[in-house]
């Protein structure tokens, strides 16, 4: 495997020490063509005091996110067509982060933080309403699945995160790169994953990890806008980033630059961070701070 080496060390603080911003989850309708992008019908769907963040589409009609419940963080589920919210975890001594859908299954997977501060990936079964440990040994911070058995994960190390390629069938774990970031994704309609790493200017570089060959291979794509750590794939050719109250697009087949796509100022939000696009490309979810 082609491994990339970096010398910049990023400071990482675990979930228990992170400042819990008063973020909310906003949902929008989007319309796209290969050359256009339109955002409409935005609304705050979490409507909850405290930390509501890390949106992820389980499917085209179901949005998962981390939601503050009392002093702990639970998994919230928002059904789009019913406009309804449900809290699907209720464990008084655990917090749940980065809820996602495991491809080709009905399972939700999340990072479960226990009372001692240990972070382990766990799966949730809708039928039994039970969580089961998925990965026991690694202090996983962030992850993204390629298929039901293969995923990449940024694992908590002293003063940094390192990226690993993990296989549940073979129980193997292969180091990909050091000092990885938190935004990991499956590239739509492709045989690639994507990840970010801090560069020498302390900005984030985006890479793809291509699975089409004999061994996964990393390729540089672009640098994220200054100060940005989060992104989403609008489709297999375009990357979406939020900054302030605006959205920007990078087209792999266009000019090598980030282009202004839309202002969300009228929706009274600021400081966009996490961002997610539904599988059918019709909805956009993001975390941002509400403007009072």
**Domain-by-domain residue ranges, the chain?**
21-290
Report the chain (292 residues): mean pLDDT per 10 consecutive residues: 33 37 94 93 94 97 92 93 92 89 95 86 84 84 97 92 95 94 97 96 96 95 97 97 98 96 97 97 97 88
pLDDT for 30 equals 97
Count how many Cα atoms sit within 13 Å of the Cα of residue 166 in the half-sphere of its side chain. 22
pLDDT for 196 equals 98
pLDDT for 93 equals 80
pLDDT for 3 equals 36
pLDDT for 138 equals 77
Q: How far apart (Å, rounded) are the C-alpha atoms in residues 185 and 180? A: 13
pLDDT for 13 equals 31
Please tell me the CATH code under which domain 21-290 is placed.
2.120.10.30
CB 252 within 8 A of CB 33: no
pLDDT for 137 equals 73
pLDDT for 232 equals 98
Q: Which residue in 73, 79, 53 sits closest to 65, CA to CA? A: 53
**pTM score:** 0.91
pLDDT for 72 equals 84
Cα dihedral 240, 241, 247, 250, rounded to 10, equals -50
Interacting residues of 55 by C-beta distance below 8 A, sequence separation 6+: 25, 63, 64, 65, 274, 275, 276, 285, 286, 287
């Amino acid at each position: 495997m082609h491994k990339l080496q970096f010398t910049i060390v990023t400071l990482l603080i675990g979930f228990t020490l992170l400042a819990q911003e008063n973020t909310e989850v906003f949902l929008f309708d989007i319309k796209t063509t290969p050359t256009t992008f339109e955002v409409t019908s935005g609304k705050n769907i979490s409507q909850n005091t405290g930390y509501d963040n890390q949106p992820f589409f389980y499917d085209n009609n179901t949005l998962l996110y981390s939601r503050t419940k009392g002093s702990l963080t639970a998994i919230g589920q928002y059904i789009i067509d019913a406009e309804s919210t449900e809290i699907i975890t209720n464990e008084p001594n655990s917090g749940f982060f980065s809820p996602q859908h495991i491809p080709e299954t009905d399972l939700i997977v999340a990072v479960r933080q226990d009372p001692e501060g240990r972070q382990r990936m766990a799966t949730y079964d809708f039928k039994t309403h039970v969580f089961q440990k998925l990965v026991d040994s690694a202090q996983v911070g962030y992850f993204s699945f390629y298929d039901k058995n293969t995923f990449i994960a940024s694992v908590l190390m002293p003063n940094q995160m390192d990226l690993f390629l993990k296989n549940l069938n073979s129980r193997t774990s292969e180091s990909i790169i050091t000092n990885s970031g938190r935004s990991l994704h499956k590239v739509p309609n492709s045989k690639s994953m994507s990840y970010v790493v801090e560069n020498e200017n302390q900005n984030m570089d985006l890479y793809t990890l291509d699975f089409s060959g004999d061994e996964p291979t990393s390729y540089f794509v672009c640098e994220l806008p200054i100060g940005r750590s989060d992104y989403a794939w609008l489709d297999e050719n375009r990357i979406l980033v939020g900054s302030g109250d605006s959205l920007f697009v990078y087209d792999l087949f266009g000019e090598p630059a980030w282009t202004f796509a839309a202002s969300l100022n009228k929706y009274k939000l600021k400081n966009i961070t996490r961002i997610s696009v539904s599988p059918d490309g019709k909805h956009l979810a993001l975390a941002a701070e509400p403007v009072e």
